[in-house]
A and B are shown apart, each in its own frame.
Chain A
């Protein structure tokens, strides 16, 4: 048994335990990617927490994660419900609806850029034609935030659709028949029968999606680079830009390290909770 799991343990230790220990070292030094620098204590943390960028990014991380989780869950569940019963071309529809999740994000961010980026792009042109004025999706700070949130929902609703479809297959059709005869409206059926049955998979999918969204990097970076004026920078994007664009390794690693500690704590609590609520 021990031998079977050994390769997995070794890879995890090499690629996680060592780097996290080293990141802790970097967070309290003023080094760079090339030299390790001097010990500066909690200086990096003080600099990061004293700056405005960190709190802005933390705020947007919350908004982005919240819309990402619930936007993709509601749309994914809606589609899963529509696909639950027999309809024409069900397999085909299910497959093409998975495409946003299957297509590489490098590609989809390029397509979105082509659709939205400039005043002459298709969607802004359409808005102009409809008399809605100049809508600058990626250059207005607030609209860029909305666009990035829409993009993450578009990327992840297929995953939620898969999760919810899997959950709905465990719902026995015959209970609906019985409920119908008892005169339950579709809404009542959904609230009192479907929702309790899919409650646990739903909770797990929220947990997973929260983790995905907090850690999301390419979707944001490739669409907006975290701009304009940092409005779409989440903490991960901010850490990346601090290290690789501003060459401030210490502060950048400090942001990443704080996220690591926070996420490890939250993940441990959530995992215990999921395991405790075991039904069987």
Chain B
């Protein structure tokens, strides 16, 4: 597209430096170090406070963690959160993968309409649906209940997980399925055996997203979960913070415990995670 001109226009001088590319590299590196240091102050502070002893010596200790794990309900909340989050991840993938497949391969007005519907639903304030659902779920005994909250999380992550699956499946050639159809496989069979087998990175990306969403949600849980036996971590942690607002050591220990699972998941699966696909699938195919 551009022709490289070998004749320099007059007036531009060749500046000779040590190695400009190398110098720029380190400059960018230091800018990023400074930005990251400032941005991570709140998170670093959380870790430091959680490890500081309360006896005034300022030494490093695990006492805060031992205290919150042994003497509070944190472990129960952690188990509730893990159950809800893992169930949400599994059900979301099982629902979003086939729907994403239809969006990826379908070419009808109905499919286009469903894309629009997903986008619109994604953009509505959760609070509008939450109040009627609370009344509905109360009648069914699902309000103060982990199954109820799992259903809500699957619903609220549905749009994005479907887009993520669709955009990943766009990259899988149709020819594989067509070959299977010729061999007599059903649409479902080819989807399950061929497309799903080849979609592992897309599935992982969707799983990370739904994990973060379900693990971090505060709004829905704060309305639906009413007894401390059903609290997930965000709600438990919030009540704990209100009761122990002066005991920063314990508060931050709980905060670190809550931070670890998403951080571990993210660190382990980071390379599979991409949000670029969301933009791609919105832009249409």
Contact B259–A107 (Cβ < 8 Å)? yes
The complex places the Cα of A12 from the Cα of B215 at a distance, in Å, of: 21
Contact of A111 among B25, B255, B275 (CB under 8 A): B255
| Contact pattern, B 1-25, Cβ under 8 Å of A = 1, otherwise 0 | 1111100110010000000000011
Tell whether A103 pairs with B275 under 8 Å between CB atoms, given A7-B98, A19-B132, A114-B45.
Answer: no
Of A39-47, A89-97, A138-146, the one with at least 4 CB within 8 A of chain B: A89-97
For window 109-125 of B, CB contacts with A under 8 Å fall at 112, 114-125
For window 94-138 of B, CB contacts with A under 8 Å fall at 94-96, 98-99, 101-102, 105-106, 112, 114-136
Contact A3–B129 (Cβ < 8 Å)? no
Q: How many A-B pairs fall under 8 Å by CB?
A: 284
Contact of A26 among B132, B212, B219 (CB under 8 A): B132
Contact of A256 among B120, B123, B128, B155 (CB under 8 A): B128
Tell whether A267 pairs with B155 under 8 Å between CB atoms, given A15-B129, A162-B276.
Answer: no
| Contact pattern, B 207-238, Cβ under 8 Å of A = 1, otherwise 0 | 00000100110110001000000000110011
**Smallest distance from the beta carbon of A28 to chain B beta carbons, Å?**
14
Contact A278–B284 (Cβ < 8 Å)? yes
Q: Interface residue tally of chain B, by bracket?
A: 35 or more
**Smallest distance from the beta carbon of A104 to chain B beta carbons, Å?**
4
Contact B119–A201 (Cβ < 8 Å)? no
Tell whether A217 pairs with B126 under 8 Å between CB atoms, given A5-B99, A163-B279, A182-B2.
Answer: yes
Task: Tell me if A133 counts as interface (CB < 8 A to partner B).
Answer: no
Chain A interface, number of residues (Cβ within 8 angstroms) = 98
Across-interface contacts of B182 in A (CB, < 8 A) = none
Contact A104–B132 (Cβ < 8 Å)? no
Contact A5–B114 (Cβ < 8 Å)? yes
Contact A114–B132 (Cβ < 8 Å)? no
Across-interface contacts of A257 in B (CB, < 8 A) = 128
Task: Tell me if B62 counts as interface (CB < 8 A to partner A).
Answer: no
Interface majority SS (helix, strand, loop, mixed), chain B: helix
Task: Tell me if B180 counts as interface (CB < 8 A to partner A).
Answer: no
Contact B131–A8 (Cβ < 8 Å)? no
| Contact pattern, B 230-261, Cβ under 8 Å of A = 1, otherwise 0 | 00011001100100000010011001001100
Task: Tell me if A135 counts as interface (CB < 8 A to partner B).
Answer: no
**Smallest distance from the beta carbon of A60 to chain B beta carbons, Å?**
15
Tell whether A236 pairs with B125 under 8 Å between CB atoms, given A18-B136, A104-B262.
Answer: yes
The complex places the Cα of A33 from the Cα of B136 at a distance, in Å, of: 11
Contact B128–A19 (Cβ < 8 Å)? yes
Contact A8–B162 (Cβ < 8 Å)? yes
**Smallest distance from the beta carbon of B124 to chain A beta carbons, Å?**
5
Chain A residue nearest in CB terms to B275: A162
Contact B155–A12 (Cβ < 8 Å)? yes
**Smallest distance from the beta carbon of B11 to chain A beta carbons, Å?**
9
Across-interface contacts of A48 in B (CB, < 8 A) = none
Across-interface contacts of B237 in A (CB, < 8 A) = 106-107, 110
Contact B28–A12 (Cβ < 8 Å)? no
Contact A12–B158 (Cβ < 8 Å)? yes
For window 61-105 of A, CB contacts with B under 8 Å fall at 79, 82-83, 85-89, 93, 95-100, 102-105
The complex places the Cα of A208 from the Cα of B39 at a distance, in Å, of: 23
Contact B119–A271 (Cβ < 8 Å)? yes
Sample of 9 further A-B pairs with CB below 8 A, known A100-B39, A215-B126, A260-B128: A11-B158, A16-B129, A99-B43, A105-B218, A114-B45, A163-B275, A183-B9, A215-B123, A267-B123
List 18 A-B residue pairs with CB atoms under 8 Å apart, sorted by A's residue number: A1-B187, A4-B187, A8-B99, A16-B121, A18-B132, A33-B134, A95-B270, A104-B233, A105-B216, A106-B238, A108-B43, A115-B41, A183-B9, A200-B283, A217-B218, A271-B282, A274-B282, A278-B283
